[in-house]
A and B are shown apart, each in its own frame.
Chain A
Amino acid sequence: KAGVTQTPRYLIKTRGQQVTLSCSPISGHRSVSWYQQTPGQGLQFLFEYFSETQRNKGNFPGRFSGRQFSNSRSEMNVSTLELGDSALYLCASSFRPEENYGYTFGSGTRLTVV
């Protein structure tokens, strides 16, 4: 059974550019969440999608956005990149998280903004 797949694994972007990260969940999982991990702030929740609808959103500026497709694959987009956006972005999928099935995480996309 394939795990959660995130692409690309590494990205280097310039300030002011935009970036799109992709996440393919485990087959059958309809919930996809995104987290940002930095040394200073730790792991912070970005947003969660279920059946193409954003159900929850963390405390991030509007430059951070996401979407989910009908096959449950998800993308997140960051526009007007800032140096502080450099982080490991983790995607997680779950069958039904509110019933405590738990989340499976991908290996992450490491974004470096220069």
Chain B
Amino acid sequence: AQSVTQLDSHVSVSEGTPVLLRCNYSSSYSPSLFWYVQHPNKGLQLLLKYTSAATLVKGINGFEAEFKKSETSFHLTKPSAHMSDAAEYFCVVSDKGYSTLTFGKGTMLLVSP
């Protein structure tokens, strides 16, 4: 069975400061990992994905994530937050060979001016 734990339900940053959203996963197999973002009243947009290639993954809008197998972590970072980054972020795991996504509970990112 696979699972995802997002360690913070809310993260508050100031515009221009770094962003760190934490995610730990559990998987029986070599997992694929994703980060999705959801703006209010919108669907989910894929930020980036890890699929056993490079462990440092670059995504859209300046986000990146590092896969650390020894720590079973896949934390999302951005060097400098924008007001437009305020949204809910979901860490997602998918075991290889399967087509179901397991979502974390989400982290709400709040960005203040």
CB distance from B72 to the nearest CB of A (A): 19
Select B43's contact among A44, A98, A102, A108, beta carbons within 8 Å. Answer: A108
Q: Interface residues of B, CB < 8 Å — how many?
A: 23
User: Are B49 and A107 interface neighbours, CB within 8 A?
Assistant: no
In the bound complex, residues from chain A placing their C-beta under 8 Å from that of B103 are: 35, 42-44
Among B12-20, B61-69, B74-82, B91-99, the stretch in contact with A = B91-99
Across the interface, name the chain A residue whose C-beta is closest to B44. Answer: A105
B83 at the interface (CB under 8 A from A): no
User: Are B99 and A56 interface neighbours, CB within 8 A?
Assistant: yes
User: Are B49 and A100 interface neighbours, CB within 8 A?
Assistant: yes
Bound: A48/B45 CA distance, A? 19
Contacts A100-B49, A106-B43, A107-B43 given; indicate if A45 touches B106 (C-beta within 8 A): no
In the bound complex, residues from chain A placing their C-beta under 8 Å from that of B46 are: 102-104
Bound: A105/B106 CA distance, A? 16
A90 at the interface (CB under 8 A from B): yes
| Interchain residue pairs with CB less than 8 A apart (24) | A31-B99, A33-B99, A33-B101, A42-B104, A42-B105, A43-B90, A43-B103, A44-B103, A45-B100, A45-B102, A48-B99, A50-B99, A56-B100, A58-B100, A92-B44, A92-B101, A100-B94, A102-B49, A103-B101, A105-B36, A105-B43, A105-B44, A106-B43, A107-B43
Select B98's contact among A44, A56, A94, A107, beta carbons within 8 Å. Answer: A56
List 17 other contacts, CB 8 Å, given A4-B43, A97-B94, A98-B99.
A31-B99, A42-B105, A43-B106, A45-B100, A45-B102, A48-B99, A56-B99, A90-B44, A98-B96, A98-B98, A100-B49, A100-B51, A100-B96, A102-B34, A105-B43, A107-B43, A108-B43
